[in-house]
Amino acid sequence: MNGESSKSAAKKAGAAAVEAPPGYELPWVEKYRPRFLDEIVGNSETVERLKIIAKDGNMPHVIISGMPGIGKTTSILCLARELLGSAYKEAVLELNASDERGIDVVRNRIKGFAQKKVTLPAGRQKIVILDEADSMTAGAQQALRRTMEIYSSTTRFAFACNQSNKIIEPLQSRCAILRYARLSDQQLLKRLMEICEAESVQYSDEGLAALIFSAEGDMRQAVNNLQSTVAGFGFVNGDNVFKVVDSPHPVAVQAMIKACYDGKIDQALETLRELWDKGYSAVDLISTMFRVTKTIDTISEHSKLEFIKEIGFTHMRILEGVGTHLQLQGCIARLCKINLKS
């Protein structure tokens, strides 16, 4: 790809306006962090609601919850940028888990910010962003209750968290709760292809499939693994991706599950032995077995459900502390037996 077209691809993928200092490369998750709500992939209904808020300007207190790496913090930052324009720097206070966020910070820093006078576009308020809010102590959350009410005419709060039930009820009742779902494979694929084009990455289709498989709907992980694979190997194919993420190769695990389905216990145990000897832990193996079984389409629906049930029981036992080779061998034996019965 020539320089000009790679530049326009970068623009299309929303490459950050901030350039890294010469000699340094920004991590791609930062370089391609969406800057406007339009660029956010997935969760379109929720993002539409945010766009309406950005247009009307009357932002309620919000909680955005969902699993990691799907755009919660990014959405709040985009919303704040669209609401506040050039006043963004002055009118946003962002605190995340790396900042001290005990009661004192709520009493001093947040309250101080809420009292501060800032010139804003008409009808806009200052915004306090509390990232990873579920890790704030209950005491600190309690201390926010009155602050949120007293200063609500000038300051609005946005919380991002993985589990909204870790936010105390009184705060939940003051906020609009928006839930983000994990991103679909197509959404991840589209974004990864945009970034590959912008960065002139050499890739194969099965390389992208491997990135999507290992990310499980987490865009941050997909983009990070893409960058690590490019940095480590230069070419994104399945083998390289699984080396980077250091998880059992799903093709081998799939062969093992299929051997169970066909009742070929020796072959299945042999594959298990090879994977075990590579040093993967029992949890890695059993969770890959689960994910692979879910997606195999050559197994009957009934057997698939029975397999998943058995794998689930084994997973539970492993988490209880018995993560041995024998545990997995037992699981393989039971999987082989399921199909013999039916």
Residues that bind ligand ATP (CB under 6 A): 29-30, 32-34, 40-42, 68-74, 160, 162, 191, 219-220, 223
The CB-of-304 to ligand ATP minimum distance in angstroms stands at 30
Select 68 or 263, whichever has its Cβ closest to ligand ATP: 68
Inter-residue contact 145 to 151 (CB < 8 Å): no
Q: Residue 74 or residue 214: which is nearer to ligand ATP going by CB?
A: 74
- Cβ-based nearer residue to ligand ATP, 215 or 268: 215
Contact between residue 14 and residue 32 where contact means Cβ atoms under 8 Å apart: yes
62 vs 286 by CB, closer to ligand ATP: 62
246 by DSSP, 3-state: which? Answer: coil
Closest contact distance (angstroms) between CB of 192 and ligand ATP is 10
Output the CA torsion sign for 66, 67, 71, 74. Answer: positive
Nearer to ligand ATP, 48 or 262 (CB): 48
Least distance in Å: CB of 330 to ligand ATP? 36
Across 21-57, b (16+ Cβ under 10 Å) vs e yields eeeeeeebbebbbbbebebbbbbeebbeebbebbeee
Cα separation, 272 vs 230, in Å, equals: 29
Measured in degrees and rounded to the nearest 5, phi and psi for residue 174 equal -90, -5
Smallest gap from Cβ 47 to ligand ATP, in A, equals 8
Q: Residue 229 CA to chain centroid, in angstroms?
A: 18
Please identify, using beta-carbon distances, which residue of 9 and 335 lies nearer to ligand ATP. Answer: 9
DSSP 97-113: TTS--SHHHIIIIIHHH
**Is the Cβ–Cβ distance between 267 and 259 less than 8 Å?**
yes
Shortest approach of ligand ATP to residue 223 CB, angstroms? 6
Nearer to ligand ATP, 42 or 207 (CB): 42
Report, in Å, the least distance between residue 111 CB and ligand ATP. Answer: 25
Residue nearest to ligand ATP (CB): 71
Q: What ranges make up the beta strands (E) of 62-101?
A: 62-65, 92-95
CB of 97 to ligand ATP, least distance (A): 9
Residues 6+ apart with CB under 8 A from 51: 37, 38
